[in-house]
């Protein structure tokens, strides 16, 4: 899909086209001067140079748009996405002419290299590059994304990183009442890791990478894995695996992320393996260390995801068993992200089951599963991003007794 935004017009400052030739007007979220739009991680994101606290809008499909709070009311001129990060640049503002977001929804101000009129930003060869039009000798600035600068006088550096949550799988749609139709598997939660480092070992600056959210699975499509987060070369933690999309039999949940590797994608029927070290297998097993818990199996009537301490909780598995159709709850985590519950399904004769509940972490709750097929494939709930916890997994989409199944919920960004 092609998407264009405009700076004038009344309620129609977006247009879309499937081929670049025939265009259709769409309703913009506000009549701001929308000057740039980009696409990344399953989301269209547009920025504006007018508006009060609402200079960002997002859309999953280019058609329905939602206003988001910009980091500052600057004149945002361009936005791009790469390496798990949205980056926007502005032509005005004091020391804050850059803002970044891991998910396009929550934005953070960043210090620009100079208060120039930054007009464009792009990514290539490991760098974001911004250009401007007004100054002499400093019309370009570069960044690997988010850069941490070592303060003077420190002796030790304490680092925490959090992985992104895996997306829930989409449910299956099928009107045949003699078949069981499972919901999608829940996404696995991201891991939390920490490290204490002598300041003498750390560079003057270090690159910070924030893990992307796992994309939501469309109907009968598996969810995407959550991204990894890192602090230079010193610490990397990994995201949760995506839940399996509805396939007509059994849909396993995604494995929780670990501090050594990512959680596995759910399969049929086993849940995805937890990320290392010592990632839990087989399905639904717990991990009391830094590895991820395994996703719940889709065998029988569905099973819950496993629990973990610092790794992510496993996503719930959606079962398929004769006249009954079960849904597993997401696994929990003490410090990492919780797993999403699997979507509700349909047994033979359209016997319904509710979606599985999301797992929990202290102070946060992951996305729950979608409801049963009688309500035509309700989407899984998105994972929850909560400060000091890793991203939680999205819920699986509900099955559908006619048409297509519900989409899975997106995983949550680490926060």
The tens digit of pLDDT for each residue in 187-210 reads: 999 999 999 999 999 998 888 888
Taking 50 as the pLDDT cut, the residues of the chain under it are 363-368, 370-375
How far is C-alpha 290 from the chain's CA centre?
Answer: 21
Topology classification of domain 2-144: Neuraminidase (2.120.10)
Check if the beta carbon of residue 277 is closer than 8 Å to that of residue 289: yes
pLDDT at position 195 is 94
DSSP 400: B
Distance of CA 355 to the CA centre of its chain: 20
d(Cα 46, Cα 80) in Å, to the nearest integer? 9
Handedness of CA 168, 217, 319, 376 (dihedral sign): positive
Residue whose token pair is 């070369």: 233
Q: What is the predicted pLDDT for the residue at 375?
A: 47
Q: In a 3-state reduction of DSSP, which class is residue 38?
A: strand
Integer Cα distance of 278 and 92 in angstroms: 50
Output the pLDDT for position 361: 63
Q: Where do the structural domains in the chain lie, given as residue ranges?
A: 2-144, 160-415
Distance CA 79, CA 85 (A): 10
How many Å apart are CA 11 and CA 42, to the nearest integer?
Answer: 24
- Enumerate the β-bridge partners of residue 120: 131
Return the exposure string of 190-223: e unless at least 16 CB atoms fall within 10 Å of the residue's CB, then b: bbbbeeebeeeebeeebbbbbbbbbbbbbbbbbb
Check residue 325 and give its pLDDT: 64
pLDDT of residue 1: 92
Rounded to 5°, the CA angle 267-193-184 comes to 20
Q: What pLDDT is recorded for position 201?
A: 95
C-alpha 273/C-alpha 96 separation (Å) is 42
Q: Which residue has the tokens 């000091």?
A: 388
d(CA 121, CA 88): 7
What is the tens place of the pLDDT at every residue in 71-100? Answer: 999 999 999 998 788 999 999 998 889 999
Dump pLDDT digits (tens) for 362-396: 534 444 454 444 445 677 777 776 666 777 888 88
DSSP string, 264-331: PPP-SSSPPPPPSSS---STT--BSSSSPPPPPP-STT--PPP-BSSSPPPPPPBP-BTTB--BPPPP
Instruction: Give the closest residue to 265 by CA, choosing from 226, 309, 304.
Output: 226
Q: Dig out the tokens for 170 from the structure.
A: 């989409």
Cα distances (angstroms) measured from residue 142 to each of 101, 120, 131, 132, 136: 17, 12, 9, 12, 16
Q: Kind and range of the H or E element at 364? A: strand 364-365
Q: How far apart are CA 277 and CA 357, in angstroms?
A: 27
Look up the pTM and report it.
Answer: 0.70
């Amino acid at each position: 899909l092609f998407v264009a935004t405009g700076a004038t017009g009344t309620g129609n400052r977006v247009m879309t086209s499937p081929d670049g030739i025939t265009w259709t007007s769409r309703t913009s979220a506000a009549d701001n001067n929308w000057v740039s739009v980009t696409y990344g991680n399953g989301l269209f994101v547009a920025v504006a140079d007018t508006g009060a606290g609402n200079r960002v809008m997002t859309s999953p499909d280019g058609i329905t748009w939602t206003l988001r709070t910009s980091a500052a009311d600057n004149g945002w001129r361009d936005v791009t996405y790469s390496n798990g990060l949205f980056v926007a640049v502005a032509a005005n503002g004091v020391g804050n002419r850059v803002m970044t977001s891991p998910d396009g929804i929550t934005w953070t101000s960043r210090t620009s290299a100079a208060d120039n009129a930054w007009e464009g930003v792009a990514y290539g060869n490991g760098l974001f590059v911004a250009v401007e039009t007004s100054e002499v000798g400093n019309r370009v600035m570069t960044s690997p994304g988010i850069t941490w600068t070592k303060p003077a006088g420190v002796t030790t550096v304490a680092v925490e990183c959090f992985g992104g949550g895996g997306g829930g799988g989409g449910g299956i749609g099928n009107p045949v009442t003699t078949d069981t139709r499972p919901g999608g598997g829940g996404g696995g939660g991201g891991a939390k890791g920490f490290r204490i480092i002598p300041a003498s070992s750390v560079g003057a600056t270090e690159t910070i990478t924030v893990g992307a959210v796992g994309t939501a699975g469309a109907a009968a499509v598996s969810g995407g894995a959550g991204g990894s987060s890192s602090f230079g070369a010193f610490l990397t933690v990994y995201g949760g695996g995506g839940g399996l999309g509805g396939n007509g039999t059994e849909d396993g949940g995604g494995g929780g992320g670990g501090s050594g590797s990512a959680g596995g994608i759910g399969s049929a029927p086993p849940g995805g393996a937890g990320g290392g070290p010592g990632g839990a297998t087989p399905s639904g097993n717990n991990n009391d260390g830094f590895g991820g818990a395994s996703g719940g199996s889709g065998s029988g009537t569905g099973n819950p995801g496993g629990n973990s301490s610092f790794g992510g909780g496993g996503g719930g598995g959606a079962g398929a068993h004769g006249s009954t159709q079960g849904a597993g709850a997401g696994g929990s985590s003490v410090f990492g992200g919780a797993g999403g519950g699997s979507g509700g399904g349909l047994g033979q004769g359209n016997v319904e089951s509710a979606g599985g509940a999301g797992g929990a972490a202290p102070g946060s709750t992951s996305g729950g599963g979608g409801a049963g097929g009688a309500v035509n494939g309700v989407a899984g709930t998105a994972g929850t991003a909560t400060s000091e916890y890793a991203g939680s997994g999205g819920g699986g989409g509900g099955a559908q007794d006619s048409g297509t199944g519900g989409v899975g919920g997106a995983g949550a960004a680490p926060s």
